[in-house]
Amino acid sequence: MPQLENRTYDELNLGDTASITHLVTERDLTLFAAVSGDTNPVHLDEAFAAATPFKGRIAHGMFSGALISAAVACEMPGPGTIYIGQEMSFMRPVRLGDEIRVELEILEKLPKNRVKIATRVFNQDNKQVVDGVATVMAPTEKVSIERPTLPEVTIG
């Protein structure tokens, strides 16, 4: 089972990077809609979405935000990180079947263990879909734990 290991405030340096990738699936959109309550048909109804400027279904914007949160929580700084804030600009849509990559980069170390992190998301064509900056409180204690196993969720 893979480990989750954090980087403490003292271990973080300007320019440090981390990334995760994720293939956007039908299941993702359905589960995100169920959890968030956002059932906007542009995400769930192909016929409706085809008549929009997007010409088809797109992922919820905050789904990318959730993946950014996962990268911060699990990769850098990792377990023990506390989110303070997040700015995001949505630059282009994320579609079903896109393989998106969340890239994090340490921009600034602030007092009280706070850190500013660039949060950029790119699609499989290396086109940026989200640009942002997170402010977090980095952990001060080193942690290495077993990655929790998620239960299987069935849709239907």
Question: CA-to-CA distance for 119 and 70, rounded, in angstroms?
Answer: 11
Question: CA-to-CA distance for 56 and 128, rounded, in angstroms?
Answer: 19
pLDDT of 1 > 70? The answer is no
Backbone φ, ψ for residue 33 (5° rounding) = -60, -40
Structural domains in the chain, sorted by start: 3-144 (3.10.129.10)
pLDDT of 143 > 90? The answer is yes
Structure confidence by residue, pLDDT tens digits, 114-134:
999 999 999 999 999 999 999
Question: CA-to-CA distance for 110 and 119, rounded, in angstroms?
Answer: 17
Structure confidence by residue, pLDDT tens digits, 65-110:
999 999 999 999 999 999 999 999 999 999 999 999 999 999 999 9
pLDDT of 156 > 80? The answer is no
